[in-house]
Amino acid sequence: MSFKIIRNDITKVTADAIVNTANPEPLFAPGTDSAIYMAAGADAMLKERKKIGKIEVGEAAFTSAFALNARYVIHTVGPVWTDGSHGEKEAIRNCYKNSLDLAKELGCESIAFPLISTGVYGFPKADALQTAVSVFSEFLSVSDMEIILVVFDNDSFELSGKIFAGIDEYIDDNYVEERLDEEYGHPAGVPGISAAADDNVPKRRRRGLFLLGAARESEPDPVCYNASMPPDAAEESILNEDNECFEVCENILAAEARPLEKRSLDEVVAQLSQTWQESLFRLIDEKGYTDTEVYKRANVDRKLFSKIRSNAAYQPKKITAVAFALALKLDIDETKDFLGRAGYAFSPSSKFDLIIEYFIEQEVYDTYTINLALFAHDQPLIGD
């Protein structure tokens, strides 16, 4: 089972249980509460609700769902926001947790939540959102259930906090031309090469250089590497004089221009490495993870994981391959290799790819948190 976010009217969602942001007393008020009563059949639901009596803040109780596309309505009473110092955050955690626990007791396989207390009760939407996702993540680590967070419109969905702060800037950065020039050949970034000399080097050639930058600025003799070569095979030259650096780079380019020795088809096929599936299970073993924690962190269900395990030639969708890269907590180079085994690569023109790269660089691997950012940018979500 998994967690997903959708834009919809919660009264139109199909789930075993629908959560209502209830009034503590057996009556209904404007907002989600009223909408659920009216869609279910107000008189019938109110009659059953009166049998429960008062519900305390943070607690949860259930009634039948009547005309809704559900078996149950779970009524939970959210806190009224004052200033955050009156137990509001703990109370809203209890709303989510107690509702999930009750749904589990009732044998539910799916549950739909609104953002509790963010309407007339004034709870900050960004805080409510992150609290909800935190509770969902904890619950799904030990239980199986489909959790659906229902957001009515864009105004209901807000992100805040340090981990989300740099996403838009990261996406807006140009990774194709300007960024390559900046990193591999911009005059200001090339110690030992004058601006005039740099202007005479074609962009194609400048991109073949990788300069050890700020980390080596204090050293008198920076080192010039060919960026297309692995570090242990990179040729280097002390940048005492411009011509010396260019001389080495010319040699590198000339070497790269030489035709490769032709190989037979049998030789090429013999060099096949691990499939994506084989790589997945090797990494699980190497990192000491269990199968269960990996597929849960990937936000995919057990059936899909079993299908992958039984087929060494399994070809995943890109989004599935990404989900498992995050679940394995791979760094950016490991992720690129892992995706490459399934025939995929990151693209600087894809918002989805840039968001994934951003979180990997931030060492944030929680798929629920990443899905919030993907949802906010109208991108497909990770998982089932």
Q: Is 151 in contact with 7 (CB distance < 8 Å)?
A: yes
Q: Tell me the two tokens of residue 130.
A: 């992150």
Say if CB 96 and CB 135 are below 8 A apart. Answer: yes
- For residue 188, the 8-state DSSP code is G
Q: Could you identify the residue written with the tokens 């037979």?
A: 264
Q: What is the DSSP letter of 238?
A: B
In angstroms, the CA 312 to CA 334 distance is: 20
Q: Classify the phi-psi angles of 53: left when phi > 0, otherwise alpha if psi is within -120 to 50, otherwise beta.
A: left
Distance of CA 160 to the CA centre of its chain: 15
- Report the run of H or E that residue 229 belongs to, with start and end: none
Catalytic residue among 9, 16, 33, 221: 33
Q: Which amino acid belongs to residue 148?
A: I
Contact 300, 383 (CB under 8 A): yes
What are 89's two structure tokens?
Answer: 């955050």
- Least Cα distance to 376 among 113, 142, 165 occurs for 165
Of 245, 244, 204, 261, the C-alpha closest to 228 is: 204
The order of strands in the sheet holding 110-113 is 3-7, 146-151, 110-113, 17-21, 72-76, 60-64
Active site residue 366: no
Which residue numbers are catalytic?
33
